[in-house]
Amino acid sequence: MRKPVIAGNWKMHMTCAEARSYMATFLPLIENTSDDRHLVIAPPFTAISTVAEIVRNTSLEISSQNVHWEDQGAYTAEVSPTMLLEHKVRYAIVGHSEPRKYFSESDEQINRRAISAQRHGLIPIVCVGETDEQRERGEAERVIRRQVEQGLEGTSCENLVVAYEPIWAIGTGKTCAATEANRICGLIRSWVGSSNLIIQYGGSVKPANIDELMAMSDIDGVLVGGASLDPDSFARIANYNII
Ligand code: PGA
């Protein structure tokens, strides 16, 4: 049985004060959420210890938004797995399309981050997805397959999450049709060859489409950006009902 992972990625939002106020509203709303799903929040690095302290006795788990492959060293602006583990971080997003785009992250770097995360007992959430132009040119499957094969090389299918996030659907309000997202997630599963692999969909997930997405056979959770910034809307997503 694959246990779905519902994750909110706060990106570069939330001071510690804002995170405290968010959690005061959010935590009561997930008090009775079924334990048939994992609930995860990815604060910016500066708010991780504050959030980790607040959620200590709850079911909410913490993710980082990236992780480096070395334990320490001369890597200005990077954060190592051991630094995250000190704050009870459980997941690490790697290969999100924003660092891929703005900082030219390569599949090879993403792969090193994922391997290192697993070696330290963190669960990498490896993001893959095509641009609008790639989809229009009929290259979506080839691009995603390359990202999957290179990004996951040498990783274990246990303690691993893959997030299919079509770039044209991120922050645009344009969700990928649930059936198409499901088809791509199924392809990823067949390329990886593991029926246990957790595969999320991400890209304009919101209260209005969560139930339909979670009803799909190959979608095992969601990675939520914008809609995770509002505690009521992320709580509705966390409390999805299969339709
Ligand atoms: P979005 O972002 O939900 O705002 O589209 C998703 C993501 O970037 O993971």
Tell me how far apart the alpha carbons of residues 86 and 65 are, in angstroms, rounded to a whole number: 16
For ligand 1, atom 1, the nearest C-alpha belongs to: 225
- CA distances to 28, 61, 106 from 36, in Å: 18, 14, 35
Residue 129 CB less than 6 A away from ligand 1 = no
For ligand 1, atom 3, the nearest C-alpha belongs to: 225
Ligand 1 center–CA 227 separation, angstroms:
8
Residue 205 CB less than 6 A away from ligand 1 = yes
The tokens describing 16, both together, are 């510690």
pTM value is 0.97
In the chain, what are the domains? Answer: 5-238 (3.20.20.70)
Ligand 1 center–CA 174 separation, angstroms:
11
Catalytic residues: 96, 165
pLDDT tens sequence for the chain (243 residues): 899 999 999 999 999 999 999 999 999 999 999 999 999 999 999 999 999 999 999 999 999 999 999 999 999 999 999 999 999 999 999 999 999 999 999 999 999 999 999 999 999 999 999 999 999 999 999 999 999 999 999 999 999 999 999 999 998 888 899 999 999 999 999 999 999 999 999 999 999 999 999 999 999 999 999 999 999 999 999 999 876
Residue 95 CB less than 6 A away from ligand 1 = no
Q: Phi and psi of 226, rounded to 5°?
A: -50, -45
